[in-house]
A and B are shown apart, each in its own frame.
Chain A
């Protein structure tokens, strides 16, 4: 008797991001939700499905086969917070959190940058009291979460990413690391927090959500929509949108008022000469090609560059033109003016490239945050900037999203291709609430070049309403 009992035992285990179900016959499978999710895996002789289905599967198996069901999936550990230091939530933050709770702790909260998404997430963590993984787009943001968790719970969270692999009940990571490591850590967390969740639905990155068994999921973003439309998949990867605060509501209330000032600069004589020379190289090449192939495009040129040095020269000329725009000497002079004009105020400078950021830093002897800036220096620079010891901070693009830079009232964009989302996020940087002071965003662009076009594109975003034009 005992023997048949053990044979009939149904076991569920976690296998590298999937669930393995053993001891269940095919006819019994329909009693488990998501029948189509299960596949027979001949390699191991068991049923297999993605770990994301774990909560309903576990519930159904418990229901149907209570006595013979053995759940071998590792369970996330409960977390106890002896000391919680969170600011009281504002009304809209409270609504957001309540809506998420009501949706069964699965869902997305959409709030503009600077309206306290992180606080909502920290409040959710303090309520959930379960092992939690926070996924952020870049290292800077990952470290920022680390700091915020330290401040809120006095807890030194684990880090997966930036060449570290240190898993703790509360861990912070990046989307790329989550994709790589979720098959190993997918059963360890009960709550997943996806910061800037619009990064998740990418073809590969989504696996971070699929390979996890976590029952509670929270997605946060200011800008949900993706141009490829994949954001609709967040509904099943995370949960439905449970709260959405319109951008207009945020502006002027929780966010500071702001001006956008565009400053056109001209290339100097030698830059202009080099620029025109490059333009000529490209034009001549394309014209000569179009004699035979009237529909010859830039894509064709790129394709051809492998076989034809001429095409390669044209391609190189194009990139050189971009770098001339990015690094125009006149931009440095304009910066000089802006620094004088806003003396005593905190100023953020966004450069288009590492090279330009370093150039600015070397001329004005102001600190940079670049993608490879290490943790210690990053912390020191951000802290000294927050305290006003440094008045200027230069970044390439790493501060694009969500990184807290307290009390910067002036931002200068001197390069970089901005899309609508980037523009919004960048605006968010300077729109931090601090008294009644107005924020100003300067865009320094080369005249008569592609950059003007880009600036116009930036301003199509609903975030820019009035743009002042000013010559310095």
Chain B
């Protein structure tokens, strides 16, 4: 990700437009991207500072290129590079060694006289000899751990020039969101994934059903009801790649301008931004993935359906992780809770109460429960992974109650 210092946003007529390189206006950037990648590819062993200078030089005569864009490219290239670091503090040890040795001879002077006789060049040569090397080598190693002087060890790179440019466009969009106070998404597809990833980005939401399959969700953080704050801008930015990977949505964010006014940033799934995340069908939390594998498609008359229904009631929605459908038509919803706080669990229980007309189970990790907490009937407690045995039992309990009450 970029930092705010890399962000380029144009504010025009109440709209915020983040810097974007397009096919029509920036076709020639494909060549630049290729050249940038080759600077890094062939730059193994070079210092970070020198790589950045080479990138800068590429754009020296480019009429359309703000300094921030160059710096942003350097950051994105650095993000997929591995530089030689010095975790054991070799350079620091060398410094202390050299400086301590020389300290009694201070000051080293250019022109020695009777009072100050320690000639800089002679002392340095002498010191190098003592350490079994030449002074130039010591001088190089002395500050090798400074970030600008670190050497490129490995360049993982991007799959190609267009991947770098796509990444740049998304990164600028994210950086623009650092300024955001709130984010509104109108969703027709992939609602569940969107809500789940917003949850992972620690965002709160307000939801409104616009039509049978269309929802408006306003995302923000806890303090957003109290004052306009950019506090959750980073959360919006982290959430964005997941949103970009989804279908059927329109997003508008209210962002603060440098002049303390507000502007609107609008993006939709039609705008052609490419996410580096896989599409929703392919990603899901590992916990659930493991469980689905273990359960199989069908077991003891129960069919496992992923991406179940959306339950909606007043302000609340509930998108269960799994739906189990028995041959006799009974449906039970299951929500697996990963690593949540007690406040979150309490909140979740409340939601469950609201949807209690549905048959629903919630699986909760043991460590997130308070000691001696009472476990409601519809709650399954698990240690590291949800076990099939207790689940089958709970499913059957709900089913038999259902059939007997009929």
Contacts and interface: CB of A to CB of B under 8 A. Distances in A.
Indicate whether A and B interact. Answer: yes
Interface of A: 13, 15-18, 37, 39-45, 48-50, 183, 204, 207, 211, 305-309, 312, 315, 333, 336, 339-340, 343, 354, 358, 361-367, 370, 372-374, 376-377, 380-381, 384, 389-392
A407 B346 CA distance: 57
Contact of B89 (A362, A374, A389): A374
Interface in B86-104: 89, 92, 95-96, 98-100, 102-103
A54 to B, nearest CB: 14
Given A307-B64, A315-B67, A367-B99, A333 B147 contact: no
A285 B294 CA distance: 71
Given A44-B204, A340-B116, A306 B64 contact: yes
Interface stretch (B138-146, B239-247, B299-307): B138-146
Given A211-B223, A365-B99, A367-B99, 16 more contacts: A15-B343, A40-B225, A41-B225, A48-B225, A306-B65, A309-B60, A309-B61, A309-B63, A339-B107, A354-B148, A361-B143, A367-B95, A374-B89, A377-B96, A381-B96, A389-B103
Interface of B: 8, 60-69, 89, 92, 95-96, 98-100, 102-103, 106-110, 115-116, 120, 123-124, 139, 142-143, 145-148, 202, 204-206, 221-223, 225-226, 229-231, 315, 343, 347, 350
A376 B67 CA distance: 36
30 contacts: A13-B343, A15-B222, A17-B222, A18-B226, A37-B226, A43-B315, A49-B226, A50-B223, A50-B226, A207-B223, A305-B66, A306-B8, A306-B67, A307-B66, A309-B62, A309-B63, A312-B65, A333-B110, A354-B148, A361-B142, A363-B108, A364-B106, A365-B98, A365-B102, A367-B99, A374-B89, A380-B96, A384-B103, A389-B100, A391-B106
B106 A377 contact: no
Contact of B63 (A207, A308, A366, A372): A308
Q: Is the interface of A mostly helix, strand, loop or mixed?
A: mixed
Given A306-B67, A374-B92, A384-B100, A16 B221 contact: yes
Contacts of A343: 106-107, 116
Contacts of A391: 103, 106
A403 B120 CA distance: 31
B237 to A, nearest CB: 14
B278 to A, nearest CB: 29
A309 B231 CA distance: 36
B64 A340 contact: no
A358 B205 contact: no
Contacts of B67: 305-306, 312, 315
B21 to A, nearest CB: 13
A123 B189 CA distance: 60
Contact of A183 (B8, B65, B204, B222): B222
Given A15-B343, A42-B315, A44-B204, A336 B66 contact: no
Contact of B109 (A211, A340, A366): A340
Given A309-B62, A372-B147, A390-B103, A377 B92 contact: yes
Contacts of B143: 358, 361-362
Contact of B222 (A16, A339, A363): A16
Given A307-B63, A308-B63, A370-B146, A43 B230 contact: no
Contacts of A372: 145-147
Nearest to B120: A363
**What 9 pairs between A and B have smallest CB-CB spacing?**
A306-B66, A339-B107, A365-B102, A377-B92, A16-B222, A39-B225, A18-B222, A367-B99, A41-B225
A47 B398 CA distance: 36
Given A43-B204, A44-B204, A309-B63, A366 B223 contact: no
Contacts of A183: 222-223, 231
Contacts of B226: 18, 37, 39, 48-50
B223 A18 contact: yes
A366 B106 contact: yes
Contacts of A305: 66-67
Contacts of B103: 384, 389-391
A48 B222 contact: yes
A183 B124 CA distance: 52
A267 B8 CA distance: 37
B198 to A, nearest CB: 12
B177 to A, nearest CB: 15
A340 B120 CA distance: 13
Given A49-B226, A306-B67, A336 B107 contact: yes
A376 B92 contact: yes
A339 B106 contact: yes
A188 B63 CA distance: 54
Q: Which of A40, A305, A365 has the most CB of B within 10 A?
A: A365
Nearest to B102: A365
Nearest to B147: A372
A140 to B, nearest CB: 16
Nearest to B65: A306
A17 B224 CA distance: 11
A310 B103 CA distance: 48
A204 B223 CA distance: 13
Contact of A44 (B61, B115, B229, B347): B347
Given A204-B230, A343-B116, A372-B146, A336 B110 contact: yes
A372 B86 CA distance: 12
A362 B103 CA distance: 13
Nearest to A16: B222
A211 B223 CA distance: 9
